[in-house]
Amino acid sequence: MTPETVCLPDGQTYTVSPVFGGVAFKSNDLTHGTHFPVGWNIALHTEEEKLVFEDGSTAPVNGEGHGEAAGRGDATAMDTTDDGSAPKRKKRVRPFSQPTRQNDTLFISSLSTPSSQEYGPPASPTRQIAMILWVSLYWYFHQREPSPHMSTEASHETPDSAKPMGEWRITIQRDGVLRGRNLIPKLERMGLLATQSTDVGTSLDDSDETWSHMFVSQRMFWQLPPNLFLFTLKPVKGSSPWPGLAASPNTSRPGSPAAQGPAAHFTPRAASPQLGVAKLYNDLPGAPIPTNLAAGVSTVHPITPFFSTSHLPTYYPPLTLQYTFTGNLRHPLRPKPPRMGELFYSRFLPSVGRYLSFRVASLSPEPVPYFGPLGPKPPDRPELTSLSDAQLLESWFAKPRVAAFWGKFTPEFLPNALQSNHSFPAIGLWDGVPFGYFEIYWVKEDILGKVLGGEAGDFDRGLHVMVGEEWARGRASEWMTSLVHWCFTTDMRTMNICLEPRIDNDRILKHLDESGFGRERQISFPHKQSWYVRLRRETWTGPLL
């Protein structure tokens, strides 16, 4: 394993490097006065228990690897079966080299925090541990996925390609930092850990075996809202990195300005008046980006859906269930979408080397500025950032490829989209450069819901997609699975993501097949014949990386 950099959705970066017995995480963003690195270490190893048959062949007990090659490593072995005619069990523990399907084990062995004279302690130590564990798992599930096929005693003679498939998951060991009293139960209640033992148990504390067999699967990890875990440490009063702009007083309201050291990978725009910066930070989170600051606002830290001046997680639960009527249709009352110009999704994609973001479209005659994180490469077509959303849409609709499916552009197109009660328009960006237009809607109230009837779920979401820029084509699976990621993490009650592309749109149908969508059937609209395609939550394992 060689050192690598992991870029978090909120713009923070960590250098990940191998150390004895595990992996070290070092923050690249927390500036402080000492040379001791801020970060943590995790102990990471692979445990394998194999069955040895009479003919000398082997098979893992819990399904990892194939044959003798699966069990190589420096470890001790022990026999656990006395009957000589039965397969013998051998357990081996070896250092981590690459992910296995279900045999890796992790715990946080140590952590290093900055000086209390520079950064205040986290408001909740448990949330800090949860964030550290989440970031560690974020790195782990970005590694190359192991083979999905499982070698078990029952499938000993089955060809490898026909062996049963299993979940990719990692065991979380109650050791090191995670041995804190009631810490594992708290992490389980936050949804970060799971266990097969779902009984109450008879122990009065969390030291029994009930809490010793925790795990995190790939599927459950990518369904967790990242803004439930990500936050930053708050600088103490008087140590603000903003010249001339003091750190927040302790009694300030949650939206008051607070400072964070500049991220090494973030390239700010030209300097702006401090009052403009302070007002911008006063309004966040939850406010649209003011376009009157586009002439040159410099943000100290990237503004993402995870940014908070209170340095607390920005998770907001979905609206509680209550029903209303639209015409004769009974459906759940919907929450208001994000504000015009507001960034609601951000994630770095290593396969592309850029940050993918989505923001709500805006009617502003000025271009909507981007203050989010940037990837390491120069952006494509940066001149597009000087166009307003209406100008972008008009230029995209003018292309025959787009007009063939979307028709002609009209000045009322964007205002109508913004005033819809069951959908909202969004602009997709690669490193802040617009590349496409999208609509995210509730299926129940859409024309698709009328066609589907009772088949449409109360919280099913639908997508309309359009890639306007030629240079951005060929990345459909990347942004498609990211939109799915946002829909599934925004509301856990959303069970399906639906699209209805025209039957002659072969290109998008091909990308939908590659992204895991299934073609259910053809449906007829007044204006087109479409394929009804659907992606079920239960079959989704995560976004494309």
Backbone angles phi and psi of 119, in degrees to 5: -130, 135
Handedness of CA 474, 478, 482, 485 (dihedral sign): positive
Q: Which two tokens stand for residue 463?
A: 């997508």
Closest by CA position to 149, among listed 63, 256, 265, 230: 63
* Tokens 């060809």 sit on residue: 159
**Are 249 and 240 spatial neighbours (Cβ–Cβ below 8 Å)?**
no
Instruction: Indicate if 47 belongs to the active site.
Output: no
Q: Enumerate residues 6+ apart whose C-beta is below 8 A from 101.
A: 63, 64, 146, 147, 148, 150, 166, 167, 168, 169
Token pair 């609509």: residue: 439
In our burial notation (b when 16+ CB lie closer than 10 A, e otherwise), range 228-262 reads bbbbbbbbbeebbebeeeebbeeeeeebebbbbbb
Strands 104-112, 4-7: pairing is unpaired
> Which residues face 536 on adjacent strands?
496
Residue 134 corresponds to which amino acid? W
Contact (Cβ atoms closer than 8 angstroms) between residue 106 and residue 172: yes
Distances from the Cα of 364 to the Cα of 55, 197, 293, 429, 431, angstroms: 74, 54, 12, 17, 21
DSSP states of 79-133 as a string?
Answer: -----TTSPEEEEEEEE-SS--SS-EEEEEEEEE---TTTBPPPS-HHHHHHHHH
CA distance 466 to 240: 43
Q: Which residues of 136-153 are buried (b: 16+ CB within 10 A; e: fewer)?
A: bbbbbbbeeebbebbbbe
524, 383 Cβ separation under 8 angstroms: no
CB 541, CB 218: distance < 8 Å = yes
Catalytic residue among 167, 383, 500, 520: 500
Q: Which residues on neighbouring strands pair with residue 428, listed in sequence order?
A: 358, 436
Q: How far apart are CA 463 and CA 475, in angstroms?
A: 16
Cα–Cα distance measured from residue 167 to residue 64, given in angstroms and rounded to the nearest whole number:
11
Distance CA 366, CA 362 (A): 9
Q: Find where tokens 């960590």 sit.
A: 14
Read out DSSP for 467-501? Answer: E--GGGTT-HHHHHHHHHHHHHHH-TT--EEEE--
- Is 65:156 a contact under the CB 8 Å cutoff? no
Residue reference for tokens 């097949």: 513
Question: What positions carry a catalytic annotation?
Answer: 500
